[in-house]
Structure 1
Amino acid sequence: MWPGTGQLGGRTLPRNTPLHTSSVQEARVTLGALLRELRGNAQFTVRQLAAILEWPHSKISKIENGRQTPTADDIRAWTHATHAEDHADDLVARLQNLEFQHAEWQRQLAPGLKHHQLKLTEINARTRFFRVFEPTFMPGLLQTAEYARFRFEQTGRVFGQRRDIDDAVQTRIQRQEILYRPEKRFHFVLTEATLRYRLCPPAVMLGQLDRLLSLSTLPNVKLGIIGFDVEYDVAPAHGFWLLDDERVMIETFSAELNLAQPQEIELYGRIFERLATATGTSYSGEARNLITRAAAHWST
């Protein structure tokens, strides 16, 4: 922990300042700035520290400027070389916060697709209120096994991870058991496009729409669909999951983002509310009519 009030090189940092301040990049820059100050305190130039660590000097510059994320071993080597070992644990903890926030798919999927599904099962078990917005595909908790298989196969094509698709599908379907727990509440908001995108064969999509109709009748599940004719005042830029008031999960092509800052959670809560209550967002019978019309489209 930084000594005293948390001063390092004349700049005050409150104790336990969260690393993910407003974005992943800002967090990486913050970590790099702290490491730069340790180098400065030790009165080493970039090239001198690189020589001590036997690293390319470009690696030092990239880390300090937030263009490369150091590993825990990098941080411990850096603090040892700059005679600042007492800061190592704090900096490693900050790195772990960054890795929590920005979990790259290549690293997450290395143990297999099933492993990630098991991690989500643990997170879901702790969550009581789910608010989910998806503009492109069916949320995992609502998927049929056939639809889930196509989603995992698409992931496999991108990341070359196909060895345990059957196990991943089975684990995802087992996760859906929480939909039937009365103490859990779910509010899903989908765009009408999710009912129409050609992400799987028509027969698979018809089964998926039938499943959606069935789940929409559960007493603890609220399903809203934003029709094509709705005028948005907040663009449906990307999907996200709000888990209680503790975490926002966002999937990008490269990583799963986990946001835990109160202001970020509050922001996504407001965005979800605007999408969920937009004039023309359909619920109950109207939502089921949209699903039925989409099924007719897939049947032609």
Structure 2
Amino acid sequence: MSTDFQQAREALGVRLRELRASHPGGRLTGTQLAERLGWTQSKVSKLENGRQTATADDLTMWAEATGRPDSIGELTARLKALETHHRSWRRQLAAGHRPVQDVHNEAQANSSVLRAWESSWVVGVLQTPDYARAIFTRFTELHQSTRDIEDAVRSRMKRQEGLYDSGRRYHIIMWEAVLHARICPPSVLAAQLDRLLGVIGLDTVELGIVPLEAPVKIPPAGGFWIYDDRQVVVETWHAELWLDDTDSVSTHLKVWKTLRESAVFGADAQRVINKVRRKLE
């Protein structure tokens, strides 16, 4: 979780505490407010201390229970600003995977130089439809989200139009483990590997593979995207982090450049992919 996000969440908690303390009828205790709201006292405490992220409904109820319905707009604006950086999957996937894919399509379409590191699966912009379908199916099961898999696949495939835009450059590095991961049937993985072999010939794409046996200067941890060296998108199991502060961007750029030193490209990358492809046969 980013420091900026946590600071914003704590600031929101301070504001909630102020509203409770300034109730027009007299200061409310945390226990009294919890009783009014039908919540546990621990939820009130967690929200005020920045240990839990409020929902829009939580904030509306809080403002009304503290006699300050006029503060609803302010509170929801704070929440929206907070969620600009921290986007939980629970909230994002409430409407399904398609809207999330549309957001990423727009972000990538507005960038000219895109850098990616991935250690778990093939990056979305290089996926085949069947491989993408398998990924969405697994995550739909994990998050128990709306099952709009086919719409999500179509949206992800639309993103690939950028690969043929001469004004855009993709610098993608993946760990060899990605090529082995059986997140889908062997036949689907084989077709996906064939797709990667073909991508290496595109002049808009630099695809590097970090071999399993290659020495690395830092652990090949979770994946991320860097857009025009101004914004980073990091995906975790519970949320996405959209970071645009200088420290976050520079740190991820340094990580990306360090991992790139261990990668192979061109014919060498093709040999690594072909080696895994032959094992599938």
2:121 equivalent among 115, 121, 137: 137
Relative distance call for 1:173 and 1:249 in structure 2 (3 A) is same
Relative distance call for 1:88 and 1:262 in structure 2 (3 A) is farther
TM-score norm. by structure 2 comes to 0.88
Matches within 5 A, 1:79-98: 79=63, 88-98=72-82
**Which secondary structure does the structure 2 equivalent of 1:69 belong to?**
coil
Counterpart code for 1:265:
V
Size of the aligned set, in residue pairs, is 278
Could you tell which deviates more after superposition, 127-136 or 258-267? Answer: 258-267
Q: Quote the residue 1:168 is aligned against.
A: 152
Q: Quote the residue 1:72 is aligned against.
A: 56
Q: Quote the residue 1:283 is aligned against.
A: 265
Counterpart code for 2:237:
F
Unaligned runs of 5+ in 2: none
Q: Quote the residue 1:210 is aligned against.
A: 194
For residues 112 and 142 of structure 2, the distance between their equivalents in structure 1, rounded to whole angstroms, comes to 32
Q: Quote the residue 1:39 is aligned against.
A: 20
Unaligned runs of 5+ in 1: 1-19
Post-superposition offset of 1:213: 1.1
In 2, are the aligned partners of 1:21 and 1:261 still within 8 Å (CA)? no
The RMSD of aligned alpha carbons is: 2.4
Post-superposition offset of 1:163: 3.2
Q: Quote the residue 2:221 is aligned against.
A: 237
Relative distance call for 1:147 and 1:51 in structure 2 (3 A) is closer
Relative distance call for 1:118 and 1:85 in structure 2 (3 A) is same
TM-score norm. by structure 1 comes to 0.83
Q: Quote the residue 1:195 is aligned against.
A: 179
Post-superposition offset of 1:79: 4.6
1:100 equivalent among 59, 84, 96: 84
For residues 144 and 21 of structure 1, the distance between their equivalents in structure 2, rounded to whole angstroms, comes to 32
**Which secondary structure does the structure 2 equivalent of 1:242 belong to?**
strand
Post-superposition offset of 1:282: 0.4
Counterpart code for 2:17:
R
Post-superposition offset of 1:167: 2.1
Q: Quote the residue 1:117 is aligned against.
A: 101
For residues 72 and 279 of structure 2, the distance between their equivalents in structure 1, rounded to whole angstroms, comes to 59
2:248 equivalent among 264, 283, 298: 264
For residues 19 and 222 of structure 2, the distance between their equivalents in structure 1, rounded to whole angstroms, comes to 39
